[in-house]
Amino acid sequence: MKTGLPFLHPHCRECISEARRKHARTTRISCAVIVAYALLGRPPALGASPDGCIAGHWIAEAVSFVEGETGRPVPRVCVRWASPETVNRLILSPAPNETHGGAVAAAYLPVNGEIVLANDLDPGTPLARSYLVHELVHAQQFEARAYERASCPGALEGEAYEVQARYLRAKGLEDDAFLFEVLGMLQRACGSS
Ligand SMILES: [Zn+2]
């Protein structure tokens, strides 16, 4: 793969539009990008440990699920809260707000080994936790340097959406699982429909 931005979501806008045509409900997406930490404001301390990383059994549960599904360990990551506006600013898309209303829920930052979650997500809901699952898959991929072997960035997204869908299905959210499955399929096509 030639790109220097292995965890960018270059097809977010197209895939969201396509998915919405097939599935008449709105959703939020997970995105992963490489950015400078300076872009991040200090997140609120919602269940955060002194170093600012969120602590909670729901994080351990998500890690355990990803490891069980993929058969690979999840590297150590710091999960932080950030405002939805901040998470959106992390996305290196020309104008992400134009097409999906700024609805980016999460991002993985390989440079810092951090996952940022929009702080309006309720971690008590499986849908919110599924965004963490998605980003944990990206953390695994980066650790394994999967971007060097992927045929396109979307191939990495495809896996992340697939595991996210499996998590949602395991929680009984069949409709949401279907939507993310479609997103994963579109991403894995590497631009060829
Ligand atoms: Zn992603």
pLDDT digits (tens, 9 = 90+) for 55-98: 899 999 999 999 999 999 999 999 999 999 888 888 755 444 33
pLDDT in tens, 27-55: 566 655 433 333 344 444 445 566 789 98
Q: Phi/psi at 69 (nearest 5 deg)? A: -75, -35
Is residue 10 one of the residues assigned to a domain?
no
How far, in Å, is the centroid of ligand 1 from the Cα of 51? 25
Ligand 1 being an ion, which residues bring their Cβ within 5 A of it?
Answer: 30, 32, 157, 160
Residue 152 lies in a domain: yes
Does 65 fall in a domain?
A: no
* DSSP symbols for 52-108: S-B--HHHHHHHHHHHHHHSSPPPP-EEEEE-HHHHHHH--SS-THHHHTT-EEEEE
User: Is 100 contained in some domain?
Assistant: no
Task: Tell whether 6 is covered by a domain.
Answer: no
- Please count the structural domains in the chain: 1
Give the distance (Å) from ligand 1 centre to CA of residue 136.
9
Indicate whether 158 belongs to any domain. Answer: yes
Q: State the first-to-last Cα distance of the chain, in angstroms, to the nearest integer.
A: 19
Print the domain residue range for 162. Answer: 30-41+70-76+123-193
186 part of a folded domain: yes
